Amino acid sequence: MIRVWVAGLAALCLILGGGEAAAAEPLAEVRVDGTERVEKEILLREIRSKPGEDLSEETVSEDLKRLYKLKYFDSVRAEVSDEGGGPVLTFRVKEKPLIKDHRVTGSSKVSKEKIDEVLKIKDRTFLDFEVVRRDVEAIKKLYEQEGYYLAEVVYELDHIPARNQVSVIYKALEGVKVQVRRINFVGNTTFPDEDLIVAMETKVASAFSWATDEGRYQKEIFQDDVEKVKAFYLNNGFIKVQVLDPIAQLSKNRRWIYLSMVVKEGPRYRIGRISFAGDLLFTPQELEAATETKPDLYFSRDRVSKDIFAITEKYGDLGYAFAEVEPITDVRDDDLKVDIEYRIKKGNKVYFNRINIVGNTTTRDKVVRREMKVAEGDLYSISRLRRSREKVYRLGFFEEVDFQSRRIPGMDLLDLDVKVKEGSTGTLQVTGGYSTFEGPIFMIQVQQANLLGYGHQLSTSASFGKRSKLFFFDYLNPYFLDSDWSLGFQAFRTQTRSFRGFVIQNTGGQVRLGYLIEEFTRLFAAYEYKISEVSDIPRTPFPFDGATSSVELSVRRSTKNHPFDPSGGSVQRLGAQTASRLLGSDFDFVKYDASSTWYVPVFLKIVFSTRLAGAYLQRVGEDPVPFFERFFAGGLGSVRGYNSQSLTPVQFVQGDREYPGDPSRRSEVAIGGNKLALINNEMVFPLIPPAGLKWVLFYDLGNVFEEGDVVDPLKFRQGWGFGIRWFSPIGPLRFEWGFPINRKRDEPSPVFEFFIGSIF
């Protein structure tokens, strides 16, 4: 007689010949039957019923549950048979199909790459319907994010019974993108619909919605807009405002959606009395000066939040890192006023314990530490922490800079982790380029802004073009011997044919020292020696060959928030250069220069910048100053809209390059000026931010004046224009169209200038 036990997930039932339960017997054997791909040994390790142990209904039931949880099987059952040597427990399983592959069809509006990113299904795994259903919902959510709110997603299974395999096919029924036709508000008596829509992320579709995301309907975002509208009211005095659940209605053609919000504004409250209580380390007047909330202003939740931050920051600068500020409000319904009391708990003073530099695979720790405004053992200061982060980021070595602090339990100490992500600081470029002035250019350049991780800067480059040949070597140690001194060297040889036709060749070098006066300001002293040779120039009243030996003193202050692409801050420079025969120079002169550049963020990542620059050349003694030390204007970096170096005083002299012996011939010679004034204004707009592509509007004015002339703004030449800029992998690219405003008859318009390749 065969005794059989059949078990489901809930219970194990014993079926015997007379329906009577048999006494428990030790198991002779435990088997697994029906596996195709799963190793039986793996399953036997999961099964708690073991040979030699008593057969237990409870244990078998648990074994069935454990096997189901493996998610390998469509069905699992247990049978007990008596084969003469004792009970044999057999688990009979039916494996789920194996996923042969999966694919997505019908997805033309959302890329398959984006869909693949949200899918959890994996090939060569057992089919799990829960995973498939989650994938369907994830794809639908992705379509909603792209504006296809009506998209449907289904799945199909393509079975291969002979191999117990299946292909999973996700089918997208995209439909059309649902766009917002109208947003309507009910109950808003104080603010028009337009003001409330500005506070929302959801917008009404426009004529340009086909090219932008404007007007796209996303359910989750629209739900968030309810809170944004409510926040708008809370920031304008309506502390009891209610915004009811929004309503969304589809048009009959399911192409448009109409949105509605019902607002119950309630009364509008102003600020009443403001007071401070608790641990007061500042006078009420000092705390009032730090806060934005003032009596008789409309109550604003945002202003209260900013006040809390401002008070916390003041206490944080005294070392109280965990000061707490709690605003206690008293609403006076009789006169619609809200009294606010800021209760302050200063806590204990906190000190920095360990400062760890994390993530710097190349840059040495000391390069980061010397930019820090806090050190181990210092009293906590939130403003110095903020300045430290800005300074580390301004190095330009890191893509990301993040400060994370941890309090040591039971102690008034903080560990600070300075987490950085290294960026690219070195380049090797062998490129070709082209400029409208230079023509074809071949360039090779090696740059390293963080040499060996010490923060030293090295640049060596050479370029060969139709009009110029340039060789440069430049090295700078910004913290010489780990001090506030900087030391730099430069060597160069340049040969340039100017816009006016003559050729200048300069060979020389420079040594410069700098000293950090304060955080943003450096003082520089430099000595330069160069030999200049000029050819292809007619007779001129100025010398044009010789050596220039000079010293220069300058001071530079920079608060730019980024070394290469600033959106805030300023740069100022003031300098004086002296060349003297006492230094071995063939010429005597003094040059003075001053410039100031300001970067102002406007909105939407638009940046306005203005630069004012001036220079003055003073002759020392009776000998004239060579023309190549004088000033010329026009072109990129000067007054755009005019050819390079075309703005300059000129003289007519006897003689000509083609007919040097003919006294009847006269040549126009550009002599340069001894005074230079420039004003450059730019508005830079993001075009494709991830690619570093921008476009710019500019307006320039300035001119060059000679001895005896005064700098007359009425004689400034003016130009305006627009351009495109791209920090490409091969270097900066500039394309600019300049239009002279007060153009003379022989001057072209417009002047198109572009440069491709590295700028030296």
Which letter does DSSP use for residue 26 in this model?
A: B
Q: Are 198 and 306 members of one domain? A: no
Residue 168 neighbours by CB under 8 Å, 6+ apart: 99, 101, 102, 103, 121, 127, 132, 155, 156, 157
Distances in Å between the Cα of 550 and the Cα atoms of 527, 602, 621 are 6, 42, 16
Out of 173, 188, 205, a domain closes at 173
Q: How far apart are the first and last CA of the chain?
A: 99
Parallel/antiparallel/unpaired status of strands 650-654 and 666-670:
antiparallel
Cβ–Cβ under 8 Å, residues 286 and 308:
no
Q: What's the CA angle centered on 482, arms 476 and 485, to 5 degrees?
A: 55
Calculate the CA dihedral of residues 378, 383, 387, 393 and round it to 10 degrees: 100
Which pLDDT belongs to residue 430?
A: 60
Q: Are 634 and 524 members of one domain? A: yes
3-state secondary structure 585-654: CCCCEEEEEEEEEEEEECCCCCEEEEEEEEEEEEECCCCCCCHHHCECECCCCCCCCCCCCCECCEEEEE
Residue 386 neighbours by CB under 8 Å, 6+ apart: none
Q: Are 517 and 442 members of one domain? A: yes
Helix, strand, or coil (residue 215): coil
Q: Are 194 and 66 members of one domain? A: no
Distance CA 348, CA 362 (A): 38
* CATH number, domain with residue 676: 2.40.160.50
Q: Half-sphere exposure of 744 toward its Cβ, with a 13 Å CA cutoff?
A: 9
Cβ–Cβ under 8 Å, residues 49 and 62:
no
3-state secondary structure 510-553: EEEEEEEEECCEEEEEEEEEEEEEEECCCCCCCCCCEEEEEEEE
Distance, CA of 189 to chain centre: 40
Q: What is the DSSP string of 114-159?
A: HHHHH----TTSB--HHHHHHHHHHHHHHHHHTT-TT-EEEEEEEE
Q: Are 90 and 140 members of one domain? A: no
* CATH number, domain with residue 104: 3.10.20.310
Which pLDDT belongs to residue 760?
A: 30
Q: What is the DSSP string of 700-750?
A: EEEEEE-TT----GGG-EEEEEEEEEEEETTEEEEEEEEEESS--TTS-SS
Q: Are 410 and 552 members of one domain? A: no
Which pLDDT belongs to residue 729?
A: 58
| Grouped pLDDT means (10 residues each) for the chain, 760 residues | 36 37 72 87 88 88 90 89 85 90 86 87 88 91 77 88 89 80 92 92 75 71 91 95 87 81 95 95 94 94 95 95 95 95 96 94 92 94 92 87 92 94 73 55 78 90 79 93 93 78 85 92 96 72 78 95 81 96 93 96 91 95 85 88 82 56 60 92 88 90 92 93 78 80 83 58
Parallel/antiparallel/unpaired status of strands 398-407 and 413-422:
antiparallel
Residue 367 neighbours by CB under 8 Å, 6+ apart: 395, 397, 450, 453, 454, 455
Please count the residues of the chain: 760
Residue 356 neighbours by CB under 8 Å, 6+ apart: 415, 416, 417, 418
Q: Are 49 and 194 members of one domain? A: no
Tally of domains within the chain: 6
Distance CA 382, CA 319 (A): 8
Q: Are 640 and 655 members of one domain? A: yes
Which pLDDT belongs to residue 6?
A: 41
Residue 282 amino acid letter: F
Distance CA 9, CA 42 (A): 20
Which domain does 25 fall in, by range? 4-95
Helix, strand, or coil (residue 578): strand
Out of 173, 204, 229, a domain closes at 173
Q: Are 415 and 277 members of one domain? A: no
Beta bridge partners of residue 90, listed in sequence order: 31, 79
Q: Are 140 and 186 members of one domain? A: no
Cβ–Cβ under 8 Å, residues 452 and 389:
no
Q: Which residue matches tokens 């204004």?
A: 681
Q: Are 462 and 413 members of one domain? A: no
Which pLDDT belongs to residue 13?
A: 40
Structure tokens, 18: 């007379």
Verdict on whether the full-model pTM lies above 0.75: no
Q: Would you call 399 exposed, middle or buried from its count of C-beta atoms within 10 A (0-12, 13-18, 19+)?
A: exposed
Out of 422, 439, 470, a domain closes at 422
Q: Are 638 and 750 members of one domain? A: yes
